Amino acid sequence: MTDGSLLERTLKNNLTWNGARIKFLAAFLIALTQSRSVNLVRLAAKFGGRAAAESSYKRIQRFLRFFDLPFAELADLLIKLMKLTPPFVLVIDRTEWKFGSKWHNILTLAIASEEVAVPILWRFLEKKGCSDDAEREQIMRDYLLLFPVSSIGYLSRRPRICEPQMVGVFNARENPLSVANQGKSRVER
């Protein structure tokens, strides 16, 4: 069994997508790991199969442009594949990435696991600088649409990322939220 067919089988068992999309995603993920790049030309060259690299390039473009990724399914898949179990340590932070010549401001919610944080939700911010309370609250509400509040062990954050208003989102539910400030060992409840 090849790596591609094993990955396809794993994806098929965990996603509700049609077979063509699953086959594409498996090829795309393998190309990402082999090329160690997000450059679409390099990815297309690693796609393999009988299709020309130019055809694979157009296929990648169509997928990225027209397919609405089901983030709930992908988040669930990542959690299963990494064997993460609640209660989760959530990390919320903002980062900037450069795509081509344009900088993108991204608010990310990740689940921390040992030495790595696995991003499961993100929002592109249409502005420069920090996220505001409403944006941080929305990404946490998105999380709560996927998982119960009881799945949260605590929220790790930078100063100003989790203001008192946001803690109220959770205190109104069945469990209070524990918040750990980065750089401090104390957990606030």
Domain CATH code at residue 78: 3.30.420
Q: Are residues 91 and 45 in the same domain?
A: no
> What pLDDT digit, counting tens, does each position of 13-31 carry?
988 999 989 988 888 888 8
pTM: 0.66
Q: Are residues 128 and 151 in the same domain?
A: yes
Whole domain around residue 58: which residue ranges? 3-68
Q: What is the mean pLDDT of the chain?
A: 78
- The domain total for the chain is 2
The last residue of one of the domains, among 14, 43, 68, is 68
- Position 162 confidence tier, pLDDT thresholds 50, 70, 90: very low
Does position 85 have pLDDT exceeding 80, yes or no? yes
The last residue of one of the domains, among 37, 68, 99, is 68
Per residue, what are the HEC states of 59-122? HHHHHHHHCCCCHHHHHHHHHHHCCCCCCEEEEEEEEEEEECCEEEEEEEEEEEECCEEEEEEE
Confidence at residue 36, expressed as pLDDT on a 0 to 100 scale: 81
Mean pLDDT in residue range 58-64: 89
Does position 135 have pLDDT exceeding 60, yes or no? yes
